[in-house]
Each structure stands twice: as structure tokens, then as C-alpha cells.
Amino acid sequence: MAGDSATKIKAYAVPAVLFSLSMLYQLVLLPRAFPPSHYDVLGLKTYCSMEEVKEAYENLESKWNSGLEIPTTTEFIKIRYAYELLTNPIWKRNYDVFGINEQDHVLEKLSQQYAGEKFSNIALPLLRTVASDTGDDAFNVITSKEFQSMFQDSKPWLLQVYSYGSNQSAQFANSWKRIAALLNGVANIGMVELGEVQVAAYLSERKPMGRFFFRNGLPSVVAFPSGCKTSDCLTRFEGELSVDAVIDWFAMAVLNLPRIFYYSKESLGPRFLAKSSPHKVKVIFFSKTGERATPAIRQAARDYWNYATFACVLWREEEFSVWWNTFGVESAPAVVFLKDPGLKPLVYHGSVNDSWFLDVLEQNKQQELPQLRSLTSEELGCDARGYSRAGRDTLTWYCAILAGRLGPELDSMRETMRRVQETLSKSSELKAASEDEHSITAAVALKSKRLTLSWLDGETQKNYCFFYLNIESSYETCGPRRVPTDVPRLFIIRYERNATEDTFKVDKKAKSIWEFHQQEVDPAAQLSVTYNVSAEVSRIIQWMSNIIEDGDSRKLPFYRVKTPELVPEDAEPFWSRGPQGLLSKSMGTKQKIQRTIIRIYDYLGDPRIGPALLLGALMSFGSIWLMRTQQNRSVQSSQPSQADNGDKLKPRERCRERNASKRNLPPSITDFEPKDSYQMPLSDSD
């Protein structure tokens, strides 16, 4: 009997669990998801008119005044709260359509404040309306008609859903003005009042039963990324409503802009300066408030990523001596540009204007002695596949390149080349410092943009470096460091373009793949000369002038070759992978878990779950009972039939087998005599 009971319990475990869950949901979870509404407190039907609300409250008030009923303090506060909420047209609309009740915390506060006192001592009214200044006159207030045509612009949209009667919307007004000012020119700003029910419902969230609601109340901030025209790609802000939080969310999640991190005096050196690429200009912002960088500055950081890297520092008065001795910063706000090693920092004090900053960044995006890279080769005119900085009509131009591995020796020689460049750019100093009048040739070439000075990372660009410094001691300059000493070397390349061939190539097209491969040499001819004299400014200037004079006056061989490609020094920026790439895996997993919990919580308020669980329990119980009944009947009917078959059916089976075996034999010609047959007699037969 005990085993039979255990089997039954195990068989009916699933319907029992489903039935228990349905009862738990109906009796515990569902009532919590649907607490009594303010209409229930007044004994009214949902969505009734304000006249009915006033009439119901007056009836209760007459009973209180006559002494027929004396409510407790908590009951009176709940009734009075419901009356004041439902007799305000804006509050009632927000509550009926979107379930917004942002002053609900007043109930608990007043119940504690007036605990133990008579209801007549409670100060009325309980709720106070605040004049809401949402600043809608200064922004684009979107109506239902305007909403249909607002996505014609390619810029992203940032919208605030607010209400005139919302105190929280009024408190957020100044922050919204600041947000709009920071996003000016970057995104379109708009506001939607809850009175525009169709638009507000489109921007709201939906419960499983289809009711519209705003999970975090009002104001609600949503964004449409560039190219987004439906609610499927709508992005909703779910954090704390502050200027810094909203701007950071919009810049990263919608605009896909990088975040500029803050560093302290201890971490700025090892975590920013030491890890930044040596060919990039360092831009450091000093701030007193600690706010994140504006979207305009972040966009500049993205656009100038190949040229500059950015950082922020929170200014502290006690650290004045550190920043003054290091960068020459007196106060904040300030911007510091760090360019070549050993060069004095460039400091700008005062607040940063976006347009002014972009102009200054464009002027200082390159180092004083620019680096020759895959990105800057054509821009500097040091590419045989490109043209001179002087223009496409220039047939002969020069590029002086200092190659070497990163280190003190290269830094010292870079400083020398900066002095050469500075001397050449100032003709008056050149005449005073130069004894040879022919040295002025390099200054003229530099001024006319036919001469470019740059430096090359010989370790990263080893193929390019070995190509031009094809000497026995090139390993001291190019490739990985094998010896303790580094020897930077200076060489100059003369580029010459054949104008006749360029004109001919415009009309001529490759007719076959073989002809195409034959034309894979560089368009411009190259001749390089290495400098092997002392590192004096005057000697270097004289040497470059002699090379330029010789290259311009003499007819040199037109030597064309395939130059090695310059290796890109920077990997793909992390923000180019999209918004999902900006978050770490742990943050992404955390957000997914939170969204799953929120969805489960929303579905717990679905009244269809309880009946569905109960129906599942009944159906599983019925199917299990029917299957067990059929099994029992089949077992009882199969036992006697097996005994009879063993004793009585054996002779019959033998006969059937015997007859079947006979029927299956093939017919023989001797079994019967054919019709009209005749037997022929034999003459010699016995």
C-alpha cells in the first residue's frame, strides 16, 4: 500500500505543482500587483467623473460632521488624498491614462506625522500644486501633427515626456535647459506633454495587458538615434535624472562617442601619458566641477582620434604646485596641449568654447615635427603614389625623414630637426646664422611646401626604414632593438613625377590583367640620400639646400620602384564597434539580468497567468488519470488470455502451419493430367 501511494504521488506531482502555483498566484501575487485604487477608497467605479468624486466625498464628509461615522486618521488621509488627486483635472488624467501618482509618498509621511491625532486636526489640503515652469517656451513642444514629420532630419532626437502638473518635471526644468544647451548643434531637442495622449502613449512602455505606463515616472527621457523612425529602436534613459548622467548616456548610447576619463596626479603619468601613442598630441582638460566632457569635445576626440588623445583632471587647490611645475597651469578651467618630447606645453586658461576649441585643435593636431605614418604620408607629401603639398602641378619635391627607434637618442635628434625647421621658417635668422648663401634654398623650398621635415618610427616601420637605409649598420636604426645603442639617421627623398606619363595614363586603360600588374610601380620616381655628417643645424640646412639645388638643376635618372607600405600604428578604436562595445561583458550581463527580472515582474501582474496555471493543472490531472486507468484495464484483461492461448490454441496452430506449408509448395506436372492429353505408344516397348 505504501508503494502504491508513493507511485500515485509521483504520478500526480506535476498537476499538484501547477495547482499550487495557480493558488499562490491568485491569492498572493495578483492582489499585490493590483492594490486598491483611489477610486476603491471612495467606493466608486474606475474612471468615473469628477462630479461623482465630489459627490461621494461630500456624502462621507456629511457623515463625519454629523458624527454617524468617525474615520481613523489613516482612513481620512487616504480618502482625502484620493479626493484631491481625482478632482485635479491634470492629475486625474495622468492617473487614469498612465497610472502616474508621483505624490504617493505623502500618504505614509502624513500617517506618521498625525499618528494618534483626530482627523479634524489634519491640515488641508494634503497636496500642494507647484507652478510648473518646464521651459516649454524655449524648446520645441511636439504635438501629434508635428510628430509625424519630425524624423525628416538626419540628426538624432532627444525627447522629454513631461506634465504641467508634475512637480518633478518642474524641478527638472533647469537641468533640461542645460542639457539642451550642451547638445545644441549635435541633436534635436523636443518636449512632449502628456496631454498629447497619442504621442505620449507611443513613447511610453506597455504592460502585458496593454496598459501604458512610465516605469520611472515623470519626466521620462527617450532618444531616437540617427536614422531611427520607429519605436523598435527607441532608447530609454533609466538612470538618475542629472545633467551629467543624461549627457553621458546620450553621448555613448545614442551618438556613439567615446568617454574621456578623469585622472589624478598619481595616475595621469603611468596610465595616460605612458600608454598614449608617441605620435599623438596629448590634450588635457582641467575642470573644477568634475563634469564629463561635453558631446562637442567627445565628437572632436572621435574625429581627431588619429592625431590626439584626451584626458581630464579634477582641479584641486592643494595640488597647484604639482600642475604648475609640470605643465604651467595656474587655475581651472584650462586646456593643455603636449606635443613633441622636450617641448614646452601649450596652455590655454579659461572656459572652453566649442568652436574655439575646434580651431585650436586643428592648429595643434600635429606635432611640431610631424611623424610619417600611413595616415599622414600623403598629407605630408612623402608618398610616391601621391602629390606634393605644393599642388598637383609640382613635378619635383623633397621629404627629409629622421628615422630611429623611440628613445633618448631619437628625442635629441628630433629636437635638432625642430630647430632646423624653425630656422628655415624664419628667413631673417637664417641669413644671420648661415655663412653660405646657398643654404637659403632649403628655406624657399620649405616656404613653398616643396620640402617637408618629418620623423619615422624605425622599429614599427622597419620595412620602410630598411628600404631607404640599405646599409650594413641599418639594424642600429631600423627594426627591433638588438644592440644597446640606437643611431637615428637622416635621409632625404627626391620625388619626381612625369607629367607626360600622367596625361597619357588618364586616357589609357589597362586591357588585361598582365598589363595591370606591370603598372604596379609608384607613379613618381625616387632618389634618396643619407646624411652622415655632424648633427649641427647649419650643416644640416646646408646639406638639404645642396640636395635640392642638385635635384632641381640636374637631370637625374628617372628611377621608379614599388615602395613598401607604411604599417598602421593604431588599432581600431573601441567605440567604432558600436554602443555594445563600450560596455564590458560584466556590465552587459548585469543589464540583461536586470531586464529579465523587470520583464518577469511585469508579467506577474497579468491576471491571465493564474487561470492558465489552473487549466494546465486540471488538464494534466485528467490526462494522467485517463492514462493510468487504461493501463490498469489492459493489464487485467491480458492475464487470462495469455493462459488460454498457451493450452488450447496449440493444435489449431499446428494445423494451420501444416496447411499453410502445403499451400506454399509450387505445383508439379505430375500432380494432375492435362486436358486433351494423348499418350504416344512406343514400337519397341516391352
Which pLDDT tens digit goes with each residue over 13-54?
888 888 888 888 788 877 776 788 999 999 999 999 999 999
pLDDT single digits (tens) 304-320: 998 999 999 999 999 99
- Residue 462 has what pLDDT? 93
pLDDT level of residue 516 (50, 70, 90 thresholds): very low
Rounded to the nearest 10 degrees, the angle between the axes of helix 50-66 and helix 73-86 is: 150
Q: Which three cell numbers stand for residue 91?
A: 492629475
**Cis, peptide link before residue 333, omega less than 30° from 0:** yes
List all residues 6 or more positions away from 357 whose beta carbon is below 8 Å from its beta carbon: 296, 297, 300, 335
DSSP assignment of 519-535 equals: T-S-SEEEEEEEE-S--
- Residue 649 has what pLDDT? 46
Rounded to the nearest 10 degrees, the angle between the axes of helix 537-553 and helix 440-447 is: 70
Least trusted range by pLDDT, from 253-262, 343-352, 501-510: 501-510
pLDDT level of residue 427 (50, 70, 90 thresholds): low
Query: How many other C-beta atoms are found inside a 10 Å radius of the C-beta of residue 376?
Result: 19
pLDDT level of residue 128 (50, 70, 90 thresholds): confident
Phi-psi region of 602 (alpha: psi -120 to 50; beta: other; left: phi over 0): alpha
pTM of the model: 0.74
- Residue 648 has what pLDDT? 47
- Residue 514 has what pLDDT? 47
**SS3 for 252?**
helix
Q: 573 pLDDT exceeds 70?
A: no
- Residue 508 has what pLDDT? 45
CA angle 667, 668, 674 (to 5 degrees): 100
Least trusted range by pLDDT, from 15-19, 137-141, 480-484, 502-506: 502-506
pLDDT single digits (tens) 521-549: 888 999 999 998 888 999 999 999 999 99
- Residue 429 has what pLDDT? 52
- Residue 685 has what pLDDT? 44
Highest mean pLDDT (candidates 102-106, 321-325, 618-622): 321-325
Least trusted range by pLDDT, from 102-106, 275-279, 509-513, 654-658: 509-513
The sign of the torsion formed by the CA atoms of 386, 391, 397, 402 equals negative
Ranges of H-type helices in 239-353: 243-249, 268, 295-303, 320-326
Nearest Cα neighbor of 478 from 530, 419, 535 is 530
Q: What distance in Å separates the CA atoms of residue 204 and residue 210, rounded to the nearest whole number?
A: 11
Q: What percentage of the chain exceeds 90 in pLDDT?
A: 51
- Residue 628 has what pLDDT? 82
Q: 345 pLDDT exceeds 90?
A: yes
The full 3-state SS of 466-504, as one line of letters, equals HHHCCCHHHHHCCCCCCCCCCCCEEEEEEEEECHHHHHH
Q: How far is CA 397 from the centre of its chain?
A: 45
Say which amino acid occupies 237.
F
Partners of residue 526 on adjacent β-strands: 495
- Residue 598 has what pLDDT? 66
Q: 440 pLDDT exceeds 90?
A: no
pLDDT level of residue 7 (50, 70, 90 thresholds): confident
Q: What distance in Å separates the CA atoms of residue 615 and residue 602, rounded to the nearest whole number?
A: 22
Query: Each residue of 349-358: b (16+ CB within 10 Å) or e?
Result: eeebebeebb
- Residue 664 has what pLDDT? 53
Query: In angstroms, what CA-CA distances link 585 with 142, 237, 268?
Result: 38, 20, 26
- Residue 347 has what pLDDT? 96
Q: 138 pLDDT exceeds 60?
A: no
- Rounded mean pLDDT of 590-602? 68
Partners of residue 396 on adjacent β-strands: 496
The sign of the torsion formed by the CA atoms of 468, 474, 478, 479 equals positive
**Cis, peptide link before residue 674, omega less than 30° from 0:** no
Q: Which three cell numbers stand for residue 296?
A: 562637442
- Residue 75 has what pLDDT? 93
Termini Cα distance of the chain? 92
> 418 or 587: whose pLDDT is higher?
418
> 618 or 348: whose pLDDT is higher?
348
Q: Which three cell numbers stand for residue 273?
A: 601619458
- Residue 643 has what pLDDT? 46
pLDDT single digits (tens) 156-203: 999 999 999 899 999 999 999 999 999 988 899 999 999 999 999 999
pLDDT level of residue 622 (50, 70, 90 thresholds): confident
- Residue 581 has what pLDDT? 40
- Rounded mean pLDDT of 319-332? 95
Q: Is residue 263 classed exposed, middle or buried when 0-12, 13-18 and 19+ CB atoms within 10 A define those classes? A: middle
pLDDT level of residue 607 (50, 70, 90 thresholds): confident
Q: Which three cell numbers stand for residue 298?
A: 567627445
